[in-house]
Amino acid sequence: MPKVKSETSFAVIGGGMAGILSVIKLAEAGFERVTLFEKADELGGTWRENTYPGVACDVPSHLYSYSFELNPEWSHLFSPGPEIHKYLLKVAQKYGVRQKARLSDEVVKMSFEGGKWRILTQGGYDQSFDFVIAATGVLHHPSYPSISGLDKFEGHMFHSARWDHSVDLEGKSLGVIGTGSTAVQIVAAATPKVGRLDLFQRTPQWILQVQNPSIDEVDKEKYRKDPSLMLDLHEELSKSFADNFANAVVDADSKEVKILEELCKMNLENNVTDPELREKLRPDYRAACKRLIISPNFYEAIQMPNANLVTSPIVQAESNGIRTQDGELHELDILVLATGFRVDRFMRPIEVFGLDGVSLDETWKERPSAYLAISIPDFPNMFMLNGPNGPVGNFSLIEVAEVQFKYIMQLVDRAMTAESGVICATHSAAETFENERIEAAKKTVWVTGCKSWYLDDRGVPAAWPWNFEHFRAKMEKPVDEDYELVTLAPL
């Protein structure tokens, strides 16, 4: 018998940006039986967990906002992390998300039994739901480097996503391992405070110099009085971001990518005065092959008298510092591991079992995949926001999640009106999508000669390889034959 809204239940896994969005939009659609599961003691996702000095979003704030809850109070073009977290909590409070959240209760197992998803948590909660929306995010399982002797270091040591705020940086010797966006932000923010900063660089990065002006009170007041101005700005930023960056990186030969390359080269040439340091900072791959880093002042910071770029490979950690291949011991009070995240985890380590007990770990034993980054064959009524091979590298993830959610609700509607009430992508649709994705990825700038977290074990970018228009078109309406309404065996 078809489901009715008042009796249909949803489990939302993850209390970050996409999880908050899901609860709000489900309520808007008339679904009341919604439970959000969050393993931490607070909502906010990556903006709750990443609190390191200088943390900020590299998408303009008026674009990195819910379209239905635009914010006139953003302080900067690219606002700092604590401000983004505060915004998310304010939205969650306004729409009653917290009342539907189970905080500090991590989901440990999900199994599809009798047409429903049975959810078990670490705290002993055991309940079944009609649908699951996995909003677990991508960048939340820290990746730790395999450096000999790290356990012997006697100073303060922590991952950038587990920043220890009890440790005072003032006047200390700080070592930062990594050169991605996080490390760049830390170096720019921390160098003026510390006694010495050593940045351990394995691979240099192209840096696009983008200023981060504050938004003055005059503009804020205009946005408060006329919210339509913010909507216009949101759409303008979306188009500009797509045209000048998101659409550019999926075509390695585009004129926009070449412009980005020239701008990055100009930043290096014009702002690093020491020829030797300049060459150490010069990548040997194309700009945007790795995730392009924006910073108004990284080169300024790394040229400060107390900053030191270390390019000799790390040999081992010792009790009082890091030993490099050239024999030098870099004595440190604090060591920060800005070494990124395990981007292949998604909802794992949750044990997930679909139709006939098929294991997600087994399904993903080679690498994670999902049809259109949303649905996994054999795992019915479970949909992912920002899932595998989605637009994590080149679009605003809030905008992505909103578009994906509308698509998911069409699948929910189709399932609810069907006799079985159970839907998932077909194996053939998933296989076709994967083949098309791999072929399209060959044209992107991500495969032009660098190693990055975008690339899977085959060297194929695990990111959406088409432009934003293609993404919107695919998300407009599900293709009926790409999904199957699963007939369940009688109990």
Per-residue pLDDT of the chain (491 residues; tens, 9 = 90+): 567 888 999 999 999 999 999 999 999 999 999 999 999 999 999 999 999 999 999 999 999 999 999 999 999 999 999 999 999 999 999 999 999 999 999 999 999 999 999 999 999 999 999 999 999 988 888 999 999 999 999 999 999 999 999 999 999 999 999 999 999 999 999 999 999 999 999 999 999 999 999 999 999 999 999 999 999 999 999 999 888 888 889 999 999 999 999 999 999 999 999 999 999 999 999 999 999 999 999 999 999 999 999 999 999 999 999 999 999 999 999 999 999 998 888 899 999 999 999 999 999 999 999 999 999 999 999 999 999 999 886 688 999 999 999 999 999 999 999 888 899 999 999 999 999 999 999 999 999 999 998 899 899 999 999 999 999 999 999 999 999 998 775 54
CA distance 13 to 176: 33
CA distance 356 to 487: 12
Task: Mark whether 461 and 434 lie in a shared domain.
Answer: yes
Buried b (16+ CB within 10 A) or exposed e, 215-252: beeeeeeebeeeeebbeebbeebbeebbeebbbbbbbb
CA distance 194 to 155: 15
Position 437 scores a pLDDT of 96
Task: Mark whether 274 and 421 lie in a shared domain.
Answer: no
Position 210 scores a pLDDT of 96
CA angle 42, 46, 50 (to 5 degrees): 95
Nearest Cα residue to 195 out of 318, 337, 307: 307
End-to-end CA distance of the chain: 15
CA distance 121 to 119: 7
CA distance 199 to 202: 10
Out of 337, 369, 395, a domain closes at 337
Tokens standing for residue 433: 């999508």
Position 244 scores a pLDDT of 87
Out of 292, 321, 337, a domain closes at 337
Total domains, the chain: 2
Task: Mark whether 350 and 475 lie in a shared domain.
Answer: yes
**Beta pairing partners, 80:** 56
Domain range enclosing 423: 5-43+97-141+342-485
CA angle 58, 63, 69 (to 5 degrees): 130
Position 489 scores a pLDDT of 59
Position 94 scores a pLDDT of 98
CA distance 28 to 51: 32
Angle between helices 468-476 and 397-417 (to 10 degrees): 20
User: Considering Cα of 190, then 80, then 341, then 395, what sign does the dihedral take?
Assistant: negative
Task: Mark whether 271 and 307 lie in a shared domain.
Answer: yes
Task: Mark whether 180 and 133 lie in a shared domain.
Answer: no
CA atoms within 13 A on the CB side of 429: 20
CA distance 36 to 100: 6
Strand order in the sheet with 173-177: 156-159, 334-337, 173-177, 196-200, 307-310
Position 404 scores a pLDDT of 98
Query: Does residue 238 fall inside a structural domain?
Result: no
